[in-house]
Amino acid sequence: MKVSLIQLGCPKNIVDGEWALGRILSKGHILTSYENADAVFINTCGFIEAAKRESIEVILNCIEDKKSGKIKKIYVFGCLSERYLKELKKEFPEVDGFFPLSVLPEAEEMLSEKKKTFRKKGQIIVPDFYYKRKRLTPNHYSYVKIGDGCSHNCSFCAIPIIRGKAVSRNREGILGELKKLCEEGVKEGILISQDLTAYGRERGDSILNLLRLIEESKTPEWIRLLYLYPTSITKEFVSIVKNSKKIVHYFDIPFQHASQRVLKSMKRGGAYSSYIKIIENIRKEIPDAAIRSSFIVGFPAEKREDFNELKRFLLEASIDHAGFFAYSKEEGTEAFSLKDEVSQEEKNERIMELASIQEKIVKEKNRQKIGRKYKVLIDGFSEETDLLLQGRTYFQSPDIDGVTLINKGECKVGEFFNIKITRVIGYDILGEVAYD
């Protein structure tokens, strides 16, 4: 059968989609574009309102195309089907199969007529070896999921409801996969989980042990770490990154807020002052470290003074990359019952205020890079124009940060080149190949 995958959601969901696709194709089905597909798989996201709406819109569009005979079969999996399996089955009888995350191991059976729905979720499954996955990222970089689920209880977050408690892969599976990716020409391995720093905790292992092993093993040249829980970034963790020849000097630390009152209500560890200490320690040990973070705006009872504290934090912390999200009230989470909601309009205004502060910070940091040379992994032609190539330095993660555009000199996609920065273009930087 000719199959196509519509992939939604975060990098962790991308790996699930790659894995499901790999297993389906291993049964002889052929991957094709949506237009030519007989069966369409939708890997949904069910994290927050906006993402849920996007997933449902995609399902509805596919149902329309099925009604008009363009496609024959629709299969839905991923976080939305995990969270709302019963409701979705009732709402969309036109869909040929809904599958919770925990059945991904049997993905290839999705196409078998016998089964329309699999059993409801158990504990999330994190296979030790993703050897069959059909990677969806460009060949030179790949996400590597080292665990899933989460044992924190942030009051706004639906992840523990969707993916269960934290489960870690065993080291052998992770190291084996990094070795295989390196042999496949992958230059950048991006380690992901819900909270990377929680790796191995449920079985007496630790992220520190894993990173030390990775340092001694055959892996892609660059190792990037995403989703670091703030209070788990110890001095030892920072020194491992500092002394590593592989781990790039990039710290993705979702602080979520800075007001003590809001952090307490969010059930997030840490505080304004301890977050600043974490950032100062990282910058003292690794002066060229880049820090990414994300913040939730408009959490119930976020008063103006709380928001002002967050603005002050942003100015003081001077973070390299930051994302701002409006609080989304999610049923099943502890915060769902909290009153005193901030209006959507007010949330949008507050996000604009933060974004304009952050824009100035990013542009000033980019200006300081003019004249310097950086090692850049070439990703391909710019999304804006074929006249420019684009790539990323160690301080630019795929799809979430600015990029490095190249307008002079020869480069090869998937390879590293030294680029001298000549100009700032908004959140991006522009440069030319440095031959000296």
Residues that bind ligand SF4 (CB under 6 A): 150, 152, 154, 157, 159-160, 194-195, 229
- The token duo for 353 is 């205020």
User: What is the nearest approach in angstroms of ligand SF4 to the Cβ of residue 100?
Assistant: 18
| Closer Cβ to ligand SF4, 49 or 288, answer by number | 49
Q: How many CB atoms lie within 10 A of CB 231?
A: 15
- The token duo for 344 is 């959507």
User: What is the nearest approach in angstroms of ligand SF4 to the Cβ of residue 228?
Assistant: 10
User: What is the nearest approach in angstroms of ligand SF4 to the Cβ of residue 152?
Assistant: 4
Strand 428-433, strand 404-408: pairing: parallel
Spatial distance between the Cα atoms of 16 and 79, rounded to a whole number of angstroms: 10
User: What is the nearest approach in angstroms of ligand SF4 to the Cβ of residue 225?
Assistant: 15
User: What is the nearest approach in angstroms of ligand SF4 to the Cβ of residue 286?
Assistant: 24
| Closer Cβ to ligand SF4, 41 or 156, answer by number | 156
| Closer Cβ to ligand SF4, 157 or 405, answer by number | 157
| Closer Cβ to ligand SF4, 39 or 154, answer by number | 154
User: What is the nearest approach in angstroms of ligand SF4 to the Cβ of residue 156?
Assistant: 7
| Closer Cβ to ligand SF4, 192 or 290, answer by number | 192
| Closer Cβ to ligand SF4, 111 or 266, answer by number | 266
